[in-house]
Each structure stands twice: as structure tokens, then as C-alpha cells.
Amino acid sequence: MKTQLAINTYLKETGGWVASQLEACTRCGICAEACHFYQALGNPEYAPIWKLEPLRRAYEQRFTVAGKLKLALGLEKKLTDADLEHWSKIVYEACTVCNKCAHVCPMGIELGPLIHEVRAGMAAAGVVPGDLAEATEKQKTIGSPLGVTDEMWRERIDWITDEWEVDIPVDKAGAETLVVFTSIELMKFPDNLAAIAQILNKAGENWTASSKGREVVNFGYFEADEELTKLFMYRVFRAAEELGVKKIVISECGHAYDAFRWTAPNIMKVPKGVEILHISEYIHELWKTGRIKLKEGAFDSETITFHDSCKIQRRGGIIKQPRELLKVLAPTSFKEMTPNKAQAMCCGGGGGVISIKEADANRYAVFKMKLEQLQEIKAQSVCMVCSNCRLQFVDSLAHFNSTVKVHGLAELVAKALV
Amino acid sequence: MKEKTIYEHLRDKGLSRRDFMKLCGTIAGMMGLEFAPPVKALGKLTHPSPTEVVAQALKTKPRLPIIWLEFQDCAGCSEAISRSSSPSLGNLVLNDIAIEYHETLMAAAGFQAEKAKEECMRKYWGKYVLVVEGSPTLADDGIYCTVAGKSNLDLLKEAAAGAAAIIATGNCASFGGIPAARPNPTRACGVADLIKDKPVVNIPGCPAIPEVTTGTILHFLVMGELPKTDHFKRPLPFYGHTIHDHCLRRPFYEAGKFAESFDDEGARQGYCLYKLGCKGPTTYNACAALKWERGLSYPVQSGHPCLGCSEPHFWDGGGFYEGQSAPTIILDKVSTATLVGAGVAVGAALAGVNAVKKSRAKKTLKKAASPETGTEAETKKEA
Amino acid sequence: MDWTEILRFSRGPLLHVAMMIFIVGMSYRLVKVILLGWERDRAANKGSKLWGVILNYLKGLLVLPFIPWVRRTFRNNALTFIAGGLFHLSLFVVLAFGTAHILVWKSLFGISWKSLPTPVVAFFSAAGIISLIVLLINRLTHPVLKLLTKLPIWINWVMVFLPMITGFIMARHLWFRYEVIFSLHLISVSLLLIWIPLGRISHFLFYFFSKTIHGAQAGKRAIMP
């Protein structure tokens, strides 16, 4: 029964773009070398193309002659519940859907989105790691994967307002910009939330947060459950429509940006004429247009580097903007890790991996490689634009007893405001 | 009365011993002994020189009777032999070394000729060599080629019965040749396809190289048996290598220099003719070694690609000027379009089946989805 | 049945039927994949999709291993890149500039061009064969490839290897009589043509799909593909 649900999902999702890419694969195995999980752990099952196995089998066995032939000849088995359990661990715990593999694939197969489809089948079959399912359930019922209730949210916002002495408008009628934060920022990195508020206030932006659309993180998207993905985005869009804003600014969360910017228009109705921006590109725009001014060289004292988040940089294209800001903040001490930009290595915590306890070992093993990249350039601090990455950095750096400091870009910009 | 040996016959005609030995050397060459490894070609005869072997044979053996029959042919092989590179030697072989019955070349005609043949056959029954030029025809009991009211099949069987050996000269007699070209209305075939109980050697070519025919006759005379042959019953000394193997344009082939047309610079420079359809790589014949017209030239040397005339079905093996590597059956535009159409049709039909499967999957999923999940978003979804 | 007869058969009916199966099979495959449906991408573009596609083809065809940021991956898998690249390059050189192949294209499409010197083609032919063997060894030993490789992939290898090795032996006139090795070459080519629509060698067609999709996705997001 589970398998049937998964297979039906695969059949539903298998359009020409899925089929043509599955057909294009030559089984060269190059993608394995791009996967940080394979590189760190050496398990051949972590090869990105192997993660597509359930989808490939469903496609070939249901839709192609060759697949049916293989079944008949006993060269291949049908998908079973056990297979789903097996691949569930692989696609949720050893993949951040970072899509780096697509960039090394000689055929250019978009492995990331295809793995997302594999996850969709798992989600439909209910074969999702417990921690992830639990967080998703919390977001569905309470409104936040971290279990932040409406009350807690208000209290927290008030606290931040007091603590940082910054004005955070909530549900402000007539606002032009809706800023949606993550509960990670709210609970763990309030400094970043405060920083964003400071910057926007300084720029004289007519903005607001919303108590109805208060969570930008999308655990439905991690799970790849389409209905939940839509539901979580719908809450934000509804708030935006009610407030009548012109822009929705996604705060520092990668998957959320990906879902809102690139996926939402394709799976649901989105409010017309509302621009979707990531906070980092928005801050850059404010700086570029002169609405905020920055103190040059404010952080030039120690080596600082930038971590590219897979969903914001590689999948979002916001590569130039944070760098331009950092070159103002730290003109001499800013150093690039290798690899970087679109080819950067994922932190290992994205795609919901960080919320799964069983994946901790994987996560740390991958982060070790990131740490080596940091050490290579003797970075003393690292800056990023995704609180999920930031969570992974903070947690893993502590795990490895490293002294490298972690910053959100907004936090640095706020400190350098003049 | 004991028959005169060839040497005696020649001496009576006034040939000196010195000239006789010269002749023996020439004959040894004609037998192809010069370009086949002597040990291999001679087998049992390793010590004496080829000339001595020939001389020994001519001194001890009488003249060889030959009966030359023509069926479906153009007489081109006979023409070639009568104008062969060394006319005097050709004459010598046909007049002085052998005694023959040849319908086209003999002075006699009609009943006289028939009578001469019958006499010849009776006199040398079991000893004569039967040379066949032109292809026998199987269709309708061979009525498409008759001589004096007898079908070619009967004539062949009759003559073959008393032959010591049979030499099929030319591609027609060897493999059916041009008469056997598609659709082969007369069901022309090779002699060896009909005669199974006598040793047959094929000298294919269009025409057969005269020196190869006479050389093979001499081989039988000298050695008392037909030369060793390949799987097509072609004498190995002459058919052991391809035209390509001995080609004087081969260096150009190796260097990748090809004439692209008959009038380009490459053709003037004598480049390889492979691209102009040369069949040299698969054609086994002695053209490049023996050449034609007293060793003057041969097709490839004269600037024409090899047609492959010593191979079976050379007439049907694709165009003469079509590259050898090209497929012989080419899909035309219409059938290509039809095939693509067939693929598209089958593909579309099965894609339809897949589409049904897909929508069915969608429906079942919708049913299975808990109503509670969808509610909020579902209502707002696009119709 | 002698080899001349087999050659006649393989140059004629066999190759003919193989080509027909190939044409039907490939158009069938193509249509079936295309008709699975395509959804319009409604997300607004950040960059140019077309530019992304162009960049992606350039990257794939020419410069993949030389782009600095691919080098890291390249270093980890240099063998697959070099051997795989060399194999495809060799295949292209031999098929496009080998004299005998040019004649095939001429007879099929009516166009002809100059061939490369035979030694050059022979060199690439050998390089292709060697790289294919190297790739096989890699496939036999690499843990990921061992996991990924099922029976059809091994058959692919054999199907590609046979025409290459017979073609090389034929063009160099080694060991066999020409008509024998010519027949073997044509038989193996025919088998390959029949096999292609069934297996993953058809990637030469779907390459253009995945390459375009990736390029468009990268272009849309304004990043280097």
C-alpha cells in the first residue's frame, strides 16, 4: 500500500522533463564525487544517481518497454515497502538537495529536483524520518516546526523589540513590504532578526511582519509533500494579500526562498504583482540605491569568509550581492573558500537533514570537510545568509571545538550602519 | 603408335634446345610459380628449379587435349586469351602444347565442328581438360542456351563426364557472372554448382586474366593436377592476395590521400581510388601482379577503381562507383518518413496508455490524501 | 555460406533491417518521452534561460575539465573524465573523418567531405579502444559504478566495443581476411543499431534534453551552469 502511494506519486510527477533526464543518464558515476555525503562517508549508495533509484524503477517499470522487459527477465525487482524504507534513509538523511551534482553531471541532469521528486513519493507513502515528520506536523498544527505558538511568537517579538531597542511593526496596515522570518531566527538567532529590523528601519522602509504569515520555513518542502508545501506558503501569501503588500522579503532561509521564488508559481496561486525577494538581495538593493550607508572596513580586523548556501546562491543566483557587501565591510580581510559560489560545498544541514537526529553523524562528517575549507584559508569568522546553514555551523563548530565565529550577513550589515 | 611428347613435337617444328629451355622458364613464370613461395606452390618439388620441373614434364608428356565450351557468355575470355600479353606464347600453348576443340576459334563450323568435338572426346576420354566459358543455365532445363539442339546442361554433363579436370574461366562460368545478376531470369550458375564429381578450378574475372587461364592449364600439364585453390576454387598462386594488397596506390591509401572525383587534382596525382568505389580490398585477383596487355597496365593503374570482377555477385554488390563501405540498400526519403511515422505512431499510442496510467495515479492519490491536509490550500488552488 | 556471402548479407539486408529498427525505435523512444507532458515554468526569470543553455553546451562540449571550479570534481574522477572524453572525441573523429565512414554518410545523406589522414584516424581509433577498456576496468573496480552497473550496462559496453575493435582491425588490415573482418564489423554495427533504442546508449539523444533543462534552469537563476 505504501509502495503503491509512492509509485502513484512518481507516475504523477513523471513528466517529460523527469523521463528525459532519467533516460539521459549513462551511469558514469561522476555525480558521486560531487556529493559531500559520498565524499565524506564513502558509501556508494550516497551517489546522487542512486538516490533516484525508486523514481527510475517506477518510471521504467510502468512506462517503458525496456523496464518491463527487465522485470520479466528478472533483472530487476519491483519496488517494495522495504525499498522505500531503505531509500528514505538515503534521500532524507544523506542528501541536502543541494544540487551540486547537477553541475558536474556531463549530461547536466538536474539531480536535486529529481531527488525532491523521490522524496515526494516517500512523503506520500509516509516513509519519512520521525523527527522530520514530527517537525512538519508541528508546523501544520502549531504553525512552526519549532513549536512556536502565536502567543510565544508575539512574546518573542516583544522581547526582541525591548532587548535590541528596535521597532518591529506587526500586521501594520498599508505596509509595502512583508518580511517573513524563520522560527530559527526567532528562537536561536534573535540578533539577526533584530538586525534585519534595524536595517529596514534605517532605510525608512515601510515594512511589517505578520502574525498570520509568521513562518517562512517550509517543512512540507523538506518532506516534499506538495499539499503541505502549498499550505505553508499559502499562509504567507494570504497574509500578504490581506496586508496588501508589494513585496515579500524572505529572511535568511534557503529552502523557503527556493519554494517561494521558484516553486510556488508552478504549484499554486500566488498573489499577483507581489515581488519575492531574499533579504540579502534586498539589503544589497538598499545599499546600492543609497538608502543605507555602511562603514567601510567595519570588519576588516579578522579573516572573514562567505559560505554559499545551496538554495540561495547555487539555486537562487544571489551570488554577487553578498560579496559586494562583504567587500565593503571587509575589503582586505575577506577571503573566498574553495570551492565557492555556484560550486560551493553545502554545509550538510540543509534539506531538513539538521532536524533529523539519526543524520547527525552524516552531518558532522560532511561538516568536517567544510571545516577543512575554513581552515585552509585560516578563516576566523564566517558569514552566511541562511539560518539553517547557520544552525549547522554553530552546532558543528561546537562539535569540533572550533573557534570560528558565525555571523548572519544582516547582523554584520546592521553593525556597520552609519 | 606412341604419341609424341611435347618436346618432340616442338623439336619437329624446329625449336632449338636453348629456346626450349627459355620457354620452360617462361612457362614456369606463367604458372604463377614466380610469385608464390616456391616451397608452398610446388609442395613435393623443392630441389629442382621450376624451369627443370617444366622441362622434365614437356620432355615426357604428350600434348594436352583441351575442349573449350561456351555457354551464356560474351566470348570476352576467349577474346582476351587470343590477344593476351604474349600472342606467340598464347598460340604456342593453344597450338603446340595443347590440342583443342574451341567452337569460336576453330576453322570448322556446323556438323564438322560437332564431329570434331565428338572425335576429340572419344579419343581422349578421361584425359582431356574441359574449359568452360560462360554460365550454364538451370531454368527450364537449360533451354535458354543450346548448341546444335542440345541444351547447355546436357552438353556440359556430357563433356564433363570424360574430363580429367574442369577449368571454369571468367566470372560467368565460375559464379554465374553477369547472366546471374538480379533477377537472374535464366537461373545462371557456376560450373562447380553443377559438376560435383570432377575437380573444378575457377578462374573468375571479367574477363579472366589470360595468363591465369593458360597458367592453370600449364600447371595441370606440368604437375598432373590442378593447382591448390581457395574456398572459391580459385588457384591460390593467382588469387592469394587482394588487389588492395598489391596496389601501387596503396601508399596513398595509408596516407589517407584519396581522389574525390575522376577529374580532380587527387586523380591526376594518382591518389587512392577507394572513395570512387574501388572494391580492391575484397577482390582477390592477380591484376596488380600480372597486369594486362603485356604487363602494360590494369584498371587501378589506369585510374579506374576495381569493380571486384573476380568475386561472386560483383554485379550486384552496390554501385561500381559507390564506396565499398556504404550500405547496399539505402533507405529512401519516403520509407524513412514511414519508419519515423511508425515509431511516432507506436510511441504516441503507448504514450496514451501512459497518460491514462498517470491520470489514474493522480486520481488514486487524491482519494488517498487525507481531506484535512488539503482543505486550506486546496480551495485556493488553481482550477 | 562463405564470408563473401555473409558480407553481402550484412552490407545489405542486415544493415538495412538494423537501420530500420533503429529509426523506428528511436522515434518511438523520443515520442514516448516527449508525450509524457511538459509543465510550463511560471516562475519569473532572474537571468536569461537561453544564455544559460548556450553556456551549458559550451561547458559540456569544450571546456568542462578546464573550468577551475570543476577541477575539484575533475581531480576526484579524472579517469572517467579523461577516458570518457577521449572515447567520445575518438568516436567523433573516427565516425566523421574516417574515409570509410565518410562514404557511408555520403551514400546515406549525399554529402561528403575530406577525410583525415589515415594514421590520425588510426590513432584516435586506438585511443578510443584503450579508453573504453580503461572505462571497463574502472567500472569493474569503482564501488559506485559496481553498484550502478547492471546487466544492460555490461551489454552496452560489449555492443560498443565490438564495432570499434573490428573496425580498427579492418582498417589496419590485421590478422583477418578483409571480407571476414568487414562482415564482423557490419554485423556488430547492426547489432549495436538494434540495441541502441533499447538501452542507455540512446543518451546521445536525451543528452540534448537534460543539457538544455540544466542550462535553462541555471540561466533562469542567473548562475553559471
Q: Per DSSP, which regions of B236-374 are E strands?
A: none
How do residues A253-291 score in pLDDT, each as one tens digit?
888 999 998 888 888 888 888 899 999 989 999 998 989
Interchain CB contact of A231 with B (< 8 Å): yes
**B228 and B130 together in one domain:** yes
Nearest Cα residue to A30 out of C74, C68, C62, C141: C74
Q: Per DSSP, which regions of C81-170 are E strands?
A: none
Instruction: Determine, yes or no, domain membership for B270.
Output: yes
Instruction: Determine, yes or no, domain membership for B232.
Output: yes
* Residue B170: domain span: 62-239
What's the pLDDT score for residue C164? 92
Contact residues, chain B, for A4 at CB < 8 Å: 364
**B247 and B195 together in one domain:** no
Q: Per DSSP, which regions of chain B are E strands?
A: 64-70, 98-102, 129-133, 146-147, 150-151, 165-169, 200-203
**B227 and B261 together in one domain:** no
pLDDT at B2 over 70: no
Q: Which chains touch A (3 or more CB pairs under 8 A)?
A: B, C
Domain boundary among B308, B324, B339: B339
Please report, rounded to a whole number, the percentage of residues in chain C having pLDDT higher than 90.
Answer: 25
Nearest Cα residue to B168 out of B290, B377, B310: B310
> B377–A227: do the CB atoms touch at under 8 Å?
yes
Interchain CB contact of B376 with A (< 8 Å): yes
> A268–B380: do the CB atoms touch at under 8 Å?
yes
Instruction: Determine, yes or no, domain membership for B178.
Output: yes
**B267 and B210 together in one domain:** no
Work out how many CB contacts closer than 8 A connect A with B. Answer: 51
**B187 and B245 together in one domain:** no
**B235 and B246 together in one domain:** no
CA pair distance C90, C161, nearest whole angstrom: 13
Contact residues, chain C, for B322 at CB < 8 Å: 103, 107
> B244–C178: do the CB atoms touch at under 8 Å?
yes
pLDDT at B223 over 90: no
Contact residues, chain B, for A14 at CB < 8 Å: 358
pLDDT at A351 over 50: yes
Tell me the torsion sign for CA atoms B329, B333, B334, B335. positive
What's the pLDDT score for residue C126? 92
**B252 and B229 together in one domain:** no
Dihedral of CA atoms A290, A292, A293, A294 in degrees, nearest 10, equals: -130
CA pair distance B336, B334, nearest whole angstrom: 5
Contact residues, chain A, for B376 at CB < 8 Å: 231, 234-235
ipTM of this complex: 0.86
Q: What is the arithmetic mean of pLDDT over B38-66? A: 67
User: Which element (helix H / strand E) includes A382?
Assistant: strand A381-384
Q: B206 is written with which cell numbers?
A: 571479367
**B101 and B215 together in one domain:** yes
CA pair distance A127, A81, nearest whole angstrom: 9
Interchain CB contact of B358 with A (< 8 Å): yes
Q: A274 is written with which cell numbers?
A: 507581489
- Per-residue pLDDT band for B115 (boundaries 50, 70, 90) equals confident
> B373–A230: do the CB atoms touch at under 8 Å?
no
d(CA C161, nearest CA chain B) in Å? 19
Nearest Cα residue to B69 out of B6, B127, B128: B128
> B376–A7: do the CB atoms touch at under 8 Å?
no
Contact residues, chain C, for B311 at CB < 8 Å: 4
Instruction: Determine, yes or no, domain membership for B275.
Output: yes
> Where is pLDDT greater, at A35 or B95?
A35
- SS3 call for B151: strand
How do residues C77-95 score in pLDDT, each as one tens digit?
778 888 888 898 899 999 9
CATH number for the domain spanning B266: value is 4.10.480.10
Contact residues, chain B, for C107 at CB < 8 Å: 322-323, 326-327, 330
Cis before residue A271, ω within 30 degrees of 0?
Answer: no
Domains of chain A: 2-127 (1.10.1060), 133-288 (3.40.50), 304-415 (3.40.50)
Q: What is the arithmetic mean of pLDDT over C45-60? A: 84
Residues composing chain C: 225
Q: What is the arithmetic mean of pLDDT over A63-83? A: 86
Q: What is the arithmetic mean of pLDDT over C164-182? A: 88
CA pair distance B339, B341, nearest whole angstrom: 5
Interchain CB contact of A417 with C (< 8 Å): no
Is residue A82 classed exposed, middle or buried when 0-12, 13-18 and 19+ CB atoms within 10 A define those classes?
exposed
Closest CB from A28, A339, A341 relative to C84: A28
Residues composing chain A: 418
What's the pLDDT score for residue C191? 93
> B354–A63: do the CB atoms touch at under 8 Å?
yes
Closest CB from B231, B327, B340 relative to C104: B327
CATH number for the domain spanning B120: value is 3.40.50.700
Backbone φ, ψ for residue B130 (5° rounding): -95, 120
* Structural domains counted in chain B: 2
Cα–Cα distances (Å) from B23 to A314, B19, B88, B214, B291, in that order, read 91, 6, 11, 14, 20
> Where is pLDDT greater, at A204 or B380?
A204
Q: Which of A13, A62, A70, A107 to mutate to test the interface with C (most CBs of C within 10 A)?
A: A107
Interchain CB contact of B296 with C (< 8 Å): no
Contact residues, chain A, for B373 at CB < 8 Å: 140, 225, 227-228, 231
**B100 and B82 together in one domain:** yes
- Per-residue pLDDT band for B168 (boundaries 50, 70, 90) equals very high
How do residues A128-152 score in pLDDT, each as one tens digit?
888 888 989 888 888 888 888 888 8
How do residues B351-381 score in pLDDT, each as one tens digit?
888 888 888 888 888 776 654 444 454 444 4
Q: Per DSSP, which regions of B155-272 are E strands?
A: 165-169, 200-203
Contact residues, chain B, for A140 at CB < 8 Å: 373
Contact residues, chain C, for B329 at CB < 8 Å: 12-13, 15-16
Closest CB from A26, A45, A317 relative to C46: A317
pLDDT at A301 over 60: yes
Interchain CB contact of B275 with C (< 8 Å): yes
Residue in chain B closest to A1 (alpha carbons) equals: B368
How do residues A12-66 score in pLDDT, each as one tens digit?
888 888 888 988 898 888 888 888 899 888 889 999 999 998 889 888 888 888 8
Per the DSSP assignment, residues forming a β-bridge with A382 are A305, A406
- Provide the chain A residues 113-132 that lie in CB contact (below 8 A) with chain C: 113
| Domain coordinates in residue numbering, chain C | 46-220
Instruction: Determine, yes or no, domain membership for B162.
Output: yes
Closest CB from C148, C203, C223 relative to A29: C148
> A50–C147: do the CB atoms touch at under 8 Å?
yes
What's the pLDDT score for residue C190? 93
Cα–Cα distances (Å) from B375 to A234, A266, B301, B372, in that order, read 11, 19, 88, 6
Q: Which of B376, B378, B379, B382 to mutate to test the interface with A (most CBs of A within 10 A)?
A: B376
What's the pLDDT score for residue C61? 64
**B134 and B165 together in one domain:** yes
CA pair distance C203, A41, nearest whole angstrom: 30
Q: What is the arithmetic mean of pLDDT over B327-354? A: 85
Which residue has 537561453 as its cell numbers?
Answer: C50
**B110 and B197 together in one domain:** yes
What's the pLDDT score for residue A50? 92
What's the pLDDT score for residue A306? 92
Interchain CB contact of B349 with C (< 8 Å): no
- Per-residue pLDDT band for C73 (boundaries 50, 70, 90) equals low
Per the DSSP assignment, residues forming a β-bridge with A170 are A209
Q: What is the arithmetic mean of pLDDT over A400-414? A: 90
> A12–B373: do the CB atoms touch at under 8 Å?
no
Residue C158 CB contacts under 8 Å (≥ 6 apart), including other chains: none
Interchain CB contact of B334 with C (< 8 Å): no
Please report, rounded to a whole number, the percentage of residues in chain A having pLDDT higher than 90.
Answer: 17
Q: A324 is written with which cell numbers?
A: 559586494
Q: What is the arithmetic mean of pLDDT over B92-109? A: 73
> C144–A47: do the CB atoms touch at under 8 Å?
yes
**B318 and B223 together in one domain:** no
> A12–B365: do the CB atoms touch at under 8 Å?
yes
Interchain CB contact of A317 with C (< 8 Å): yes
> B380–A269: do the CB atoms touch at under 8 Å?
yes
Instruction: Determine, yes or no, domain membership for B217.
Output: yes
Q: Which of A12, A101, A103, A372 to mutate to test the interface with C (most CBs of C within 10 A)?
A: A103
Interchain CB contact of B383 with A (< 8 Å): no
Work out how many CB contacts closer than 8 A connect A with C. Answer: 165
Interchain CB contact of B17 with A (< 8 Å): no
pLDDT at B49 over 50: yes
Work out how many CB contacts closer than 8 A connect B with C. Answer: 135
What's the pLDDT score for residue C110? 84
Interchain CB contact of A109 with C (< 8 Å): yes
Closest CB from C5, C28, C99 relative to B256: C99
What's the pLDDT score for residue B39? 42
Contact residues, chain B, for C11 at CB < 8 Å: 317-318, 327-328
d(CA A24, nearest CA chain C) in Å? 5
pTM of the full predicted structure? 0.84
Q: A342 is written with which cell numbers?
A: 555556484
Q: What angle do CA A115, A119, A125 make, to 5 degrees?
A: 150
Nearest Cα residue to A115 out of A102, A134, A132: A102
Instruction: Determine, yes or no, domain membership for B231.
Output: yes
Q: Helix-strand-coil percent breakdown of chain C, rounded to 5? A: 80, 0, 20
Q: C81 is written with which cell numbers?
A: 573524465
Contact residues, chain A, for C212 at CB < 8 Å: 108
